[in-house]
Amino acid sequence: MPAGVVAGFFGIRPNYLSTVDLAGASGCSMIDQAIAAVESGRCEVALCVAGQNLLSNRSRSQAVQSMAERGSGHPQFEVPYGPLVPSLYALIAQRHMYEYGTKPEQLAEVAVTIRTHAGLNPNAHKKDPITVGDVLSSRMITSPLHVLDCAIVSDGAAAAVVTRADRARDLRKSPVYLLGSGYGLRHGYVGDAECLTTSGAVDSGRTAFRKSGLGPKDIDVAEIYDCFTITVIVELEDLGFCPKGEGGRFVENGNIGLGGQLPVTTHGGLLSGGHPGLGGGFFHVLEAVRQLRGEAGGRQVPKVEVALAHGNGGVVSVHCTLILGNAEN
Amino acid sequence: MTSLPKPLPAPDPATSEYWEGAKQGELRLPKCRDCGKFHFYPRTLCPHCGSVNLEWKNCSGRGVVYSYTVVHRAPSPAFEADVPYVVAVIALEEGPHLMSSIINVPADRVRVGENVRVTFRSAGSGDEMLPMFELG
């Protein structure tokens, strides 16, 4: 959504404007770029907004076709072969299974845990609990991904206000601070990627951790982009929460659930919470903020001091990692 | 019943040699005259070194299955008659990876690591051909 349209709608006359479109990484990146704008003096208060209605005014089939033909595939060298957007992720999943022995049951664990989280979020799109058996017996879309391995299609929007720490101190809501951020990209298209099982999240995570002076062990909750179940497994590895190839085992036994070693995507994510395009990746940032403020209700992780939000756009292509805290570094 | 049109590649000056080769049953890839590396997809510069000093080479058309997926739900009505079909990433002998289909084999027979060779299939109407792969 162009920044000018949003500002015009609200009757704002801004002294700085920027439209950020890094697809699924837009939410994380908007926060980062707004902070850069505030720090450089281009503006004092930035309103970051992302929203899309992916569901309304068209059928789900029309949404699927539109995304397949004008989404993440190369128009000349990929789209003519008929991949769905989920097929592009299925290629990653199949290779991960081949290299590391990752199992469909482990992919399903991701969907089950994140659905459990959605059940605790009153704003989530899909709340009914599911089991590993439900995922494995759901319709096969593009092997090895079943329909319950895939994000849903939703309407929605998200927004956040960014300003200087000293300006934020007397606001009604307690501030959340950016402790570190990073970007990464290792391929433009899935078809010609040199490696499908390691992503630019390695680079975005490493930079964000280095800037914050923190490491994966310091993260209390990780709001990780979850467009497909395999995305979560690859990102957990690439961000350093477990060794490469161990992501499948890491997500077993409720390890990424509430009460687990690392609660992941606690609002229900894109798999169950809702996926309104650009707004979808923004919800992960908002959930990190809510967890840090203790506002997450029934899904609140105890004693959250540091949270990670990670967005990816394209097909595990563009990455942006934020490390957020409820105290200044 | 006439088949619905599938999305066709729209060649541009940087890629027309690739599609011209396909019409003639040849898999042509751009190769950098400066660093000596092949790349894919075709573009106006070498993504390895930035050189614009490129040439086209005919490839062996041989490679291995790097990854694949069996598509069970068509992205559009044009592909509905084809399901289930295989979309794969092929690691070519010359180095680059490319997306394609694996045809002339039951979808459940395809595995990562299998040898494949190029073949060409009509892209729809006209004489446009798409490179695809067969096991072997």
Interchain contact B97–A (C-beta under 8 A): yes
For testing contact with chain B, the best of A62, A64, A72, A77 (most B CBs within 10 A):
A77
Confidence of residue A185 (pLDDT cuts 50, 70, 90): very high
Task: Report d(CA A246, CA A233) in Å as an integer.
Answer: 8
Neighbouring residues of B74: CB distance < 8 A, sequence distance ≥ 6: A82, B80, B82, B83
pLDDT at B3: 60
Q: Do A143 and B130 touch (CB under 8 A)?
A: no
A196 and A102 Cβ atoms separated by less than 8 Å: no
pLDDT at B20: 95
Q: Which residue has the higher pLDDT, B7 or A225?
A: A225
A304 and A291 Cβ atoms separated by less than 8 Å: yes
CA R_g for chain A: 19
Is the pLDDT at A297 greater than 50? The verdict is yes
Please provide residue A267's backbone torsions phi and psi, each rounded to the nearest 5 degrees.
Answer: -90, -10
Is the pLDDT at B70 greater than 80? The verdict is yes
Number of Cβ pairs closer than 8 Å across A and B? 118
Residues of chain A found within 8 Å of residue B108, distances taken between Cβ atoms: none
Q: Which fold has domain A3-325?
A: Peroxisomal Thiolase; Chain A, domain 1 (3.40.47)
Round the average pLDDT of chain A to a whole number and report it: 95
Neighbouring residues of B132: CB distance < 8 A, sequence distance ≥ 6: B100, B101, B102, B103, B118, B119, B120, B121
Q: Do A68 and B15 touch (CB under 8 A)?
A: no
Cβ-count burial A24-53 (b if 16+ within 10 Å, e if not): bbbbbbbbbbbbebbeeeebeebbbbbbbe
Please provide residue A120's backbone torsions phi and psi, each rounded to the nearest 5 degrees.
Answer: -100, 5
Question: How crowded is the C-beta side of B55, counted as CA atoms within 13 Å?
Answer: 8
Confidence of residue A1 (pLDDT cuts 50, 70, 90): low
Residue A208 CA: distances (Å) to CA of A170, A214, A328, B77 = 28, 9, 15, 44
For testing contact with chain A, the best of B28, B71, B109 (most A CBs within 10 A):
B71
Q: Do A81 and B87 touch (CB under 8 A)?
A: yes
Beta strand pairing call for B54-58 and A177-185: unpaired
Tokens of B61: 């058309």
pLDDT at A286: 97
What residues does each domain of chain B span?
16-135
Mean pLDDT of A80-87: 95
B121 and B8 Cβ atoms separated by less than 8 Å: no
Interchain contact B108–A (C-beta under 8 A): no
Is the pLDDT at B22 greater than 60? The verdict is yes
Mean pLDDT of A279-285: 94
What residues does each domain of chain A span?
3-325
Task: Give A300's DSSP letter.
Answer: P
Is the pLDDT at B1 greater than 80? The verdict is no
Q: Do B69 and A81 touch (CB under 8 A)?
A: no
Interchain contact A87–B (C-beta under 8 A): yes
Task: Report d(CA B57, CA B80) in Å as an integer.
Answer: 35
Tokens of A25: 């990484």
pLDDT at A312: 95
Give me the interface pTM, i.e. the ipTM: 0.96
pLDDT digits (tens, 9 = 90+) for A101-126: 999 999 999 999 999 999 999 999 99
Interchain contact A75–B (C-beta under 8 A): yes
What is the separation of C-alpha A158 from the centre of its chain, rounded to a whole number of angstroms? 13
Please provide residue A188's backbone torsions phi and psi, each rounded to the nearest 5 degrees.
Answer: -90, -40
Mean pLDDT of A217-246: 98
Helices A229-238, A85-100: crossing angle, 10 deg rounding: 50
Interchain contact A191–B (C-beta under 8 A): yes
Q: Which residue has the higher pLDDT, A167 or A59?
A: A167
Q: Do A80 and B15 touch (CB under 8 A)?
A: no
Residues of chain A found within 8 Å of residue B66, distances taken between Cβ atoms: 95, 196
Interchain contact A59–B (C-beta under 8 A): no
Task: Give B108's DSSP letter.
Answer: G
The total of other beta-carbon atoms located within 10 Å of residue B1's CB is: 4
Beta strand pairing call for B115-122 and B129-135: antiparallel
A148 and A130 Cβ atoms separated by less than 8 Å: yes
Is the pLDDT at B73 greater than 90? The verdict is yes
Task: Report d(CA A163, CA A34) in Å as an integer.
Answer: 8
What is the separation of C-alpha A317 from the centre of its chain, rounded to a whole number of angstroms? 13
Residues of chain A found within 8 Å of residue B87, distances taken between Cβ atoms: 81-83, 87, 91, 142
Task: Report d(CA A216, CA A209) in Å as an integer.
Answer: 8
Element at A179 (helix H, strand E): strand A177-185
Interchain contact B40–A (C-beta under 8 A): yes
Please provide residue A55's backbone torsions phi and psi, each rounded to the nearest 5 degrees.
Answer: -100, -40
Interchain contact A223–B (C-beta under 8 A): no
Residues of chain A found within 8 Å of residue B91, distances taken between Cβ atoms: none
Q: Do B99 and A69 touch (CB under 8 A)?
A: no
Q: Do A91 and B101 touch (CB under 8 A)?
A: no
What is the separation of C-alpha B134 from the centre of its chain, rounded to a whole number of angstroms? 12
pLDDT at B135: 96
pLDDT digits (tens, 9 = 90+) for A201-215: 999 999 999 999 999
Residues of chain B found within 8 Å of residue A141, distances taken between Cβ atoms: 71-73
pLDDT digits (tens, 9 = 90+) for B38-69: 999 999 999 999 999 999 999 999 999 999 99
